[in-house]
Amino acid sequence: MGASALDDHDVIIIGAGLTGIYQLYRARELGLDVTVLEAADGLGGTWYHNRYPGCRFDSESYTYGYSFSKELLDEWHWTEHFSPQPENLKYLDHVADKFDLRRHMQFGCKVRAARYDEDARTWSVEVEDGRTLRCRFLVTAVGILSTPTMPRVDGIDRFQGPWFHTYDWPHDGVDLTGKRVAVIGTGATAVQLIPVIAESVSELFVFQRHPNWCAPLHNGQITEEEMADIRARYDEIFERCRKTPGGFIHMPDRRKPAEVPEAERYAFYEELYRSSGFRIWQGNFRDVLMDDAANEEFSAFVADKIRERVKDPVTAETLVPKDHGFGTRRVPMETRYYEAYNRDNVHLVDLNDTPIERVTEAGVLTSDRDYEVDVIVYATGFDAVTGAFDRIEFTGVGGRTLREKWADGPVTYLGLLSAGFPNLIMLAGPQSGSGFTNFGRGVEEGVDWTTGLLRYLQEHGCTSIDTTEEAERQWVGHVEDMYDLLLVSKVKSWFTGYNSNVEGHDHFRPVAYNGGAPKYRKRLAEVAERGYEGFVLA
């Protein structure tokens, strides 16, 4: 594709997770010389790293997996409706082997920096092992939750026992049986982990800064018969996912809650609470995510459920969020999470009353007391969406770095390119509609579209693609407008770019695209039909 003069590659993909694997498959189909650089020692991304007990999908398994191969769909059996991490990793390994993708991947290759050569229109990619590789197109598939963050408290490395972030859970496992364990954080990760380890540890101290609105996952096994039925309905399932804003099988209810009689409304809420997966969030009244009154009513309903499930009223009250409404942060899906607090060996520490002062050799010191523990688990989240980009020194036209350009938040066109960084194509990047839906679905569509773009560039002999500041201005404006429609915009979370553990992430940053998958898909299709409007091809 005009890159034949290079000794290296037409395309380098950074990251061998769900996204990178599929982009590799598609790029290879175009006959491109492509290699994938992966920092870890194996493929799988999120599913390679997160090995903590309880880790699993919150998407229905059969909606998360790839749809591109009928043969793959026909042969793969998801054993649970919300499949656990080991099976998810096995699935991705299976895909890589089935399509003979592994030989295009290089593991243990952490990209340190990448510099655009304006004359040659190529990227030089520096790997931490000292090598520099060149490519025409540099494609990032670095994930949106791949840069774990630790709390900014003193003493973390003074602790004498094992300690780790959930993302870095030891691969050979860690036996917590009979141990005193501290878990810091109560996000989606902690909510999966806590009820599982509560059963075997001697004491579990959960350090909570803000509670989240969690909802029952209602997971279950998938029998052979059920799987056969799912296989027969795959077309219908994927078609349904295409129609929903979140890319899940759950369609929002567009009725105005105020127009639905109260008894009917509450029957609906009960039904949602009994339903599995994200239906309670994505299949709720649309207004619950957009209108204060609707949100308040539903939040009060869920608060009562928490109070019913947690025996000690003080603990129950500590677990009820007071600073944000249901669904305005990503909803942690739980399996007997609240019941864990009914156990004698589980203790909730409210950091609002007694903040952490520091970590000591023996445990966690709060303003109230010293919690002596054997193991400390940090479930403290991620430098989400832009973190992985900030960790690589991307230098574009005129020596400007992406980090400088994005200091106040990402600036992109369609979440795919950032002006001044030609040939750097971001998959499921900041402000892209691909990353903020049911990930499997969003990513597959994003990759298919990008593959169409690469084909176009190939066929038209283009050696560079960039975008303009005007196209970016319009896109970022649209991204911000989409935030304004949702209550999510009023709440500090990784959706709105906040992270107390990352310098400068203390204000709103438009990292997510909230317009929904159908709107994003339509926009991408129009852009392509108009000869890649908003892009500058050379």
Binding site for ligand NA7 (CB under 6 A): 145, 151, 184-190, 207, 209-210, 330, 351, 379-381, 494, 500-501
Q: How far apart are CA 183 and CA 270, in angstroms?
A: 31
Element (H, E) at 190: helix 188-198
Q: Which is nearer to ligand NA7, 146 or 401 (CB)?
A: 146
Q: How far apart are CA 12 and CA 24, in angstroms?
A: 9
Q: Which is nearer to ligand NA7, 265 or 330 (CB)?
A: 330
Q: How far is the CB of 119 from ligand NA7 (least distance, A)?
A: 42
Strands 132-140 and 9-14: parallel
- Reading across the β-sheet that carries 203-208, which strands appear in turn? 163-165, 375-378, 180-184, 203-208, 346-350
Q: How far is CA 334 from CA 7, 46, 214, 496, 534, in A?
A: 50, 19, 6, 23, 43
Q: Which is nearer to ligand NA7, 35 or 380 (CB)?
A: 380
Q: How far is the CB of 332 from ligand NA7 (least distance, A)?
A: 7
Q: How far is the CB of 407 from ligand NA7 (least distance, A)?
A: 22
Q: How far is the CB of 64 from ligand NA7 (least distance, A)?
A: 12
Q: Which residue is nearest to ligand NA7 (CB)?
A: 187
Strands 363-366 and 356-359: antiparallel
Q: How far apart are CA 140 and CA 532, in angstroms?
A: 20
Q: How far is the CB of 161 from ligand NA7 (least distance, A)?
A: 19
Q: Which is nearer to ligand NA7, 284 or 380 (CB)?
A: 380
* 3-class SS string, 350-369: ECCCCCEEEECCCEEEECCC
Report yes or no: 498 and 329 within 8 Å, Cβ to Cβ: no
Q: Which is nearer to ligand NA7, 365 or 424 (CB)?
A: 365
Q: How far is the CB of 144 from ligand NA7 (least distance, A)?
A: 9
Could you tell me how far CA 121 lies from the centroid of its own chain?
32
Q: How far apart are CA 226 and CA 72, in angstroms?
A: 17
Task: Give me the helices (H) in 251-291, please.
Answer: 262-274, 279-282
Q: Which is nearer to ligand NA7, 209 or 455 (CB)?
A: 209
Q: Which is nearer to ligand NA7, 40 or 351 (CB)?
A: 351
Element (H, E) at 115: strand 111-117
User: Which residue is associated with the tokens 């810091």?
Assistant: 184
Q: Which is nearer to ligand NA7, 30 or 351 (CB)?
A: 351
Query: Which residue type, as a one-letter code, is found at position 364?
Result: V
Q: Which is nearer to ligand NA7, 59 or 122 (CB)?
A: 59
Q: Tell me the residue length of the chain.
A: 538
Q: Which is nearer to ligand NA7, 244 or 380 (CB)?
A: 380
Closest CA to 196 of 302, 313, 339: 339
Q: Which is nearer to ligand NA7, 123 or 494 (CB)?
A: 494
Tell me the three state secondary structure of residue 318. helix
Taking only Cα atoms into account, the Rg of the chain, rounded to an integer number of angstroms, comes to 23
Q: How far is the CB of 459 from ligand NA7 (least distance, A)?
A: 38
Assigned token pair, 238: 């994927």
Q: How far is the CB of 283 from ligand NA7 (least distance, A)?
A: 18
Q: Where are the beta strands (DSSP E) in 408-481?
A: 424-426, 465-467
Query: Which residue type, as a one-letter code, is found at position 391?
Result: R
Secondary structure (DSSP) of 116-140: EETTTTEEEEEETTS-EEEEEEEEE
Q: How far apart are CA 349 and CA 448, in angstroms?
A: 47
Q: Which is nearer to ligand NA7, 148 or 420 (CB)?
A: 148
Instruction: Tally Cβ neighbours within 10 Å of residue 477.
Output: 11
Q: How far apart are CA 364 and CA 371, in angstroms?
A: 5
Q: Which is nearer to ligand NA7, 190 or 302 (CB)?
A: 190
Closest CA to 58 of 337, 328, 333: 333
